[in-house]
Structure 1
Amino acid sequence: MESVIDRACAAALYSEGDAGLDTGASLLAADPSSDEELHRRGEEFVRRAWARGWQPADVVRAVRRELEEPAPALVSALITAETGAYATLPPRWADQIAGLPAPAPRNRPDRFTYASALLELYRLLLRLPAIEPVGPAPGKAADAPHRPPAPGEPRMLTRIRALLAKAEATGFPEEAEALTTKAQELMARHSIDEALLAARTHGEGTPGAVRIGVDAPYESAKAVLLDSVASANRCRAVWNSDLGFTTVVGFAPDLEAVELLFTSLLVQGTAAMTKAEAGQRAGGRKRTKTFRQSFLMAYAQRLGSRLAADTARVTAAAGEENRGGGPDGGAGALLPVLAARDVAVTDTAERMFPRTTTTRLRGATDAEGWTRGTEAADRARMGGGTPRLGR
């Protein structure tokens, strides 16, 4: 005989609209003895998401995009319960789980409403497509060993985060520029040092990948900004506009740099856009949507040029510093080492994404927004000594 859970799921999960949800929720609300099995079923659906390449932050992001409250809190409770069964979790999962929304209490505000929201969540979880994995699922061994972090590496990352946090908080553009310049220099030099160390010690490190959310509104401009940051840090970025994230492929220090720098530049750009827009509206202007789109697109385009130039400058300086250091560490060794890592990153990205497409982005139609965004990018430039680009 079919259980209440099976009948409720059959009615709600494989149909469209609210009628099936109402039928399933009514069955569950009338049978309190089904509660534990209902939640075990939800944990099973979460495990299926792991098997299809999803990670905790990805699942929460998808739920927030598609469903209203309390769905994110409901899936948080399921993820917390499911992942609690593992002795160890893959790298990065601990941070993602720590950032989950507060889990929702059961059967609030009433049994029917709660069951309906849970079934709607299960319907979404079942329909999540398979995506490219960016690391092992819980309980699975990593494909390749990873070199332990170098001594002092956590302190370096802490220093970079502190510099970027100060840049985001200050109201003085010159101070923000100086702070972000120093942070980018530390990132670039740390990446080069890691590459040379791996070459000297014949390290086994291979490129990895992370997924970074690219949320509406103005997601195309944000995706361009993330692509610019990734390219400048020797990574490859592939945007999935339907699912709201970009997968960035690269070596671990570079991936860390991309995450930190993109987040900071987006915060700085959004603050500058809000300030510039307020000035426009004070003058009687109302075309805020086109202004914002053009602002952020110009901001992303200009920063792309600056980041690329800054990376080249830091790399050249590092090569000069190491000149004459021998076959394993001199300037003659640096460029081949970086070239080899670029090839490895490209090969990994092409294996993960054998078929990619280009897309036409919405153009920047607001001249004032473009000008203001370009100026904001100039103020946020990442490298000292770079000449100001003309219009």
Structure 2
Amino acid sequence: MSSTPSTVERAFEAALYADSDAALDTGASLLASDPASDAELARRGEEFIEGAWRRGWQPADVVRIVRRELDDTHVRLVSALILDESRRNERNEQARGPRWTAQLEELTAEAAEAAGTSGTSGASGRKASPRTDRFSYATAVLGLYRLLLRLPSIEPLDVDAPKRAAGAPKDSRMLTRIRALLAKAEATGFPEEAEALSAKAQELMARHSIDEALLAARTHAKDAPGACRIGVDPPYETAKAVLLDAVSGANRCRAVWNEALGFSTVVGFEPDLEAVELLYTSLLVQATAAMTKAEAAQRAGGRKRTKSFRQSFLAAYAHRIGDRLAEAAEGQVTAGEGELLPVLAARDVAVADETERMFPATVTTRLRGVNDAAGWEEGAAAADRAQVRARPPLR
């Protein structure tokens, strides 16, 4: 004799395998009428999170896709689920590496800030707001679970790849200084100050990367490439992906864009991955600010600009930045002497091999909708003004 399905099971059967709002309403009505189902609902949510981990997703990836597909309520719910699951499986979290830990720390900070400003509860299985009724809450939870259930498998990061040897501790002070310099460069209204700040940040990034590469070679550390995922969000995501690809190439990394899921996977050695994240974010901020200013000037001159202007602007910016970074990368190799050149060559081969292992089949994407001459010219000019500088010669 079979047992009677629980309220949660009946709600899932009604809501998770259909696409309509009516299906969500049916499932939510079942859950709202049975407060005793809350604990099981929360437990099943953590199981969906664990399923996402098995399919290659990481905390930041899950939050990013939820933010892209749903709304802030769902983001708060999934963040709470992730944090609850991490506390319950703390031993597993420690084995997943520093990037995973950093993502959880960022989620913890965001949850604390949200709780302080909106009264949001921090534990899954409880209401997202004191003013949320049970039906609305259940509807949001089922909408989230429907998305989590349908997440596809993606390339796992740091799985089956050689583990990086424990070398010198990360120079967090240097990275903090780099971030501060780039933040000031983005915020200042004076081009000369931005140039000085960005140039100094670029110099520190270069030194950090080269020092790490030489240290690994001299100590015979079995260093190996890793990978990270960086969000490439609409609008104009193709141009942004091209920009990220250019930044990655200049920092001895490879970027593979997943258009459908809104991110690029960047493969490289850890110091270079850090440089890519920092520089891409900074250049994107500079490009957006420059585009807004250029569009305002066009409007002031009586020329109405549309989506095509912005698309062409960012496409030209990405193209020109790519050229500048390629020149800078060539200068870095030319400046290298002695033991550095074979070390960098070996790293290039390792990154290419790891990219091929993770992505054996890729296709080339072409920019479309680039048909505004003024936008292209303004974007190219902005790229020439952007703060990019070759690594300093070694001494």
CA distance in 2, matches of 1:334, 1:135: 26
Q: Which of 33, 38, 47 in structure 1 is aligned with 2:36? A: 33
Partner of 1:314: 332
Is residue 167–residue 216 contact of structure 2 (8 Å, CA) maintained in 1? no
Residue correspondence of structure 1 range 316-331 to structure 2 within 5 A: 316-317=334-335, 319=336, 331=337
C-alpha displacement of 1:385:
11
C-alpha displacement of 1:174:
2.2
Residue correspondence of structure 1 range 221-260 to structure 2 within 5 A: 221-260=239-278
Is residue 135–residue 209 contact of structure 1 (8 Å, CA) maintained in 2? yes
Q: Which amino acid is the alignment partner of residue 236 of structure 1?
A: R
Is residue 225–residue 354 contact of structure 2 (8 Å, CA) maintained in 1? yes
Does residue 99 of the first structure (1) align with residue 106 of the second (2)? yes
CA distance in 1, matches of 2:355, 2:391: 33
TM-score (norm 1): 0.90
C-alpha displacement of 1:72:
0.7
Over residues 140-191 of structure 1, what are the superposed CA-to-partner deviations in whole Å (9 max), with x where a residue is unaligned?
A: xx85443345367222212211211111111112221222222222222322
Partner of 2:117: none
Partner of 1:9: 12
Is residue 174–residue 379 contact of structure 1 (8 Å, CA) maintained in 2? no
Report sequence identity in percent. Answer: 68
Seen in structure 2, the aligned counterparts of structure 1 residues 384 and 259 have a Cα distance that, compared at 3 Å, is closer
Does residue 183 of the first structure (1) align with residue 201 of the second (2)? yes
Residue correspondence of structure 1 range 307-386 to structure 2 within 5 A: 307-317=325-335, 319=336, 331-383=337-389
Partner of 2:69: 66
Partner of 1:131: 154
Root-mean-square deviation (CA, aligned residues, Å) is 1.9
Q: Which of 75, 80, 95 in structure 1 is aligned with 2:78? A: 75
Q: Which of 119, 122, 141 in structure 1 is aligned with 2:142? A: 119
Is residue 202–residue 391 contact of structure 2 (8 Å, CA) maintained in 1? no
Q: Which amino acid is the alignment partner of residue 360 of structure 1?
A: R
SS for the counterpart of 1:47 is helix
CA distance in 2, matches of 1:358, 1:345: 19
Q: Which amino acid is the alignment partner of residue 178 of structure 1?
A: A
Is residue 185–residue 314 contact of structure 1 (8 Å, CA) maintained in 2? no
Report the more deviating stretch, 64-73 or 233-242: 64-73
Seen in structure 2, the aligned counterparts of structure 1 residues 292 and 347 have a Cα distance that, compared at 3 Å, is same
Partner of 1:139: none
CA distance in 2, matches of 1:181, 1:311: 15
Over residues 192-216 of structure 1, what are the superposed CA-to-partner deviations in whole Å (9 max), with x where a residue is unaligned?
A: 2222221221111100000000000
Partner of 1:287: 305
Seen in structure 2, the aligned counterparts of structure 1 residues 300 and 143 have a Cα distance that, compared at 3 Å, is closer
Is residue 332–residue 391 contact of structure 2 (8 Å, CA) maintained in 1? no
SS for the counterpart of 2:339 is helix
CA distance in 2, matches of 1:359, 1:304: 15
TM-score (norm 2): 0.89
Aligned length: 369
Q: Which of 40, 57, 73 in structure 2 is aligned with 1:54? A: 57
Q: Which amino acid is the alignment partner of residue 19 of structure 1?
A: A
SS for the counterpart of 1:84 is helix
Partner of 1:23: 26
C-alpha displacement of 1:116:
0.9
